[in-house]
Structure 1
Amino acid sequence: MPVAVIDGQPLHYVDQGTGPVVLLGSSYLWNSDMWAPQINALAKYYRVIAPELWGHGQSGQMPETTESLDDLADQALRLLDHLQIDKVNLVGLSVGGMWGARLALKEPGRINSLVLMDTYLGAEPQATRDYYFSLLKMIEDAGHFPEHLLDIVAPIFFRPGIDRESTLYKGFRHTLTGFSAEQLRDSIVPLGRVTFGRSDILDQLHKLSPATTLVMCGEDDQPRPPAEAREMAESIGCPLVLIPGAGHISSRENPEFVNGALLTFLASHT
């Protein structure tokens, strides 16, 4: 996996295919494997770039200067500059959509099209924010994911009723046990606080182009429910696509549907 040094830290990324560039922004607690089905499908027609979040996959520690989602957007721009890429089609899921929208608002001339998946550009509701911050504190104090937290955190990312013996579910649950105490304390926990303590930018959504933006959401997404996606799509004036049989990581729960929707959208915007 290639690497770029951004703000003094190694940022690893997938770089596959040729053609117009698609930049994939990943979810918190997931490495680039969450996009494996999309990378395979899109790389036949596009150059696909999928950076790993700080502390995730092979990427290094989150730079100490990273204090907000705007900083993540700036770091993504520096990656594009490093790769000498002027313009991208940005597909961001969860926190990937949160910083992706900020990038699009900051540098609209560098965004050919924008897909916001299973994400929300408002602030985290206070009760949910407090709950997530309490989980982060427990993880920080323990230096690992305690067993009981694995069974709290892992289900958040999937549709209710997912087979917990499935390869997808068990694989993700297992990856949570692989974070070192250093990764958790220096990157994962701070990044979680940045994400769940984010500012509200819903009042800026009207600045996004309705003609080149798409909102997608798993029908069974629990942390980022369809009502939030509908609110954003209406504010932007863009289409909303609901993904059947999928929770938060819709890219893995219904990859065929997601691939088809992305290929259709990108074909008319590249």
Structure 2
Amino acid sequence: MPFATIDGQPLHYLDQGQGPVVVLGGSYLWDHAMWAPQIEVLSRRYRVIAPDLWGHGQSGQMPEGMSSLNDMARQMMELLDYLSIDCFHLVGLSVGGMWGTRLALAAPTRIQSLVLMDTYVGVEPEQTRQYYFSLFDKIEASGSIPEPLLDIVVPIFFRPGIDPQSALYQQFRATLAALPTDRLRASIVPLGRIIFGRDDMRGRLHELNAQRTLVMCGDQDKPRPPSEALEMAELIGCLHVLVPDAGHISNLENPQFVTEALLKALRG
């Protein structure tokens, strides 16, 4: 799979299929493979670009000097410029929606449609921010995500009723447990602090094209609850869809529903 050098570091991305371009921006702590069910279907009629975040998948470490989600939006724009892609559909889940919103505001003429999934562009509630930062401190100090922290972190991403012995749950847990110390300290922890220390973009949501924007959220998403998705949809003035029987990684917990909704959104 290909790489692009952005801010001096190798950014890894999937590039599959032909046709109009769909960019898939994924969640923190997941790589591009989280989109596998959607990539399989979308790439039959679209060219799908799915980048790995810094320190995730096969991407290099977070570039020096990176300090905000605006930097990430610019980096993703540079990836698309590198690929000579002018216009594209953008689907962003979690942090993918956070940088995706910033990219759409910075380059509105390049966005053919925007789908914001399980995301929120307001500030992190202070109590939650402090809690996440305390987890980052522990991970940074230990150089790993130890068992007690895995028991806290992994369930955050799924609906409460998921079987903890399921392949989806266990594979994610194993991936986090295997993260090397250098990657955690150089990229994943500092990137997490950027994500959960983000600024408030809600005041600009009215600038998005409501006719070309869709907000989606798992009906059992814990870190980004449906109330946040509804708030964003109302500020944008766009359609709002709840994904049934799904938590934060709604595209993997109810892949058929999400894929069908994306196909409909991409068709306009």
Aligned partners of 2:192 and 2:64: how far apart in 1? 14
Task: Name the aligned partner's letter for residue 234 of structure 1.
Answer: E
Alignment partner, residue 224 of structure 2: 224
RMSD: 0.5
Task: Name the aligned partner's letter for residue 159 of structure 1.
Answer: R
- For the 8 Å contact 2:247–2:253, the answer to whether it is kept is yes
Alignment partner, residue 64 of structure 1: 64
CA offsets per residue over residues 82-131 of structure 1, 9 Å max, x none?
Answer: 00000110000000000000000011111111000000010000000000
Aligned partners of 1:133 and 1:127: how far apart in 2? 10
Alignment partner, residue 176 of structure 1: 176
Equivalent position SS for 1:50? strand
Structure 1: 4+ residue segments shifted above 3 A: none
Aligned partners of 1:202 and 1:187: how far apart in 2? 27
Aligned partners of 1:162 and 1:51: how far apart in 2? 27
Alignment partner, residue 254 of structure 1: 254
Aligned partners of 1:121 and 1:67: how far apart in 2? 16
- CA offset at residue 178 of structure 1? 1.6
Aligned partners of 1:249 and 1:152: how far apart in 2? 16
TM-score, normalised to structure 1, is: 0.99
Q: Give the 5 Å matches for 1:1-270.
A: 1-268=1-268
- CA offset at residue 147 of structure 1? 0.6
Aligned partners of 1:200 and 1:82: how far apart in 2? 29
The percentage of counterpart residues that share the same residue type is: 65
Task: Name the aligned partner's letter for residue 89 of structure 2.
Answer: N
Gaps of 5+ in 1: none
Gaps of 5+ in 2: none
- Tell me the number of residue pairs that the alignment of Structure 1 and Structure 2 aligns: 268
TM-score, normalised to structure 2, is: 0.99
CA offsets per residue over residues 171-199 of structure 1, 9 Å max, x none?
Answer: 00000012110000000000000000000
Aligned partners of 2:188 and 2:55: how far apart in 1? 6
Aligned partners of 1:146 and 1:178: how far apart in 2? 10
Aligned partners of 1:51 and 1:229: how far apart in 2? 24
Aligned partners of 2:201 and 2:210: how far apart in 1? 16
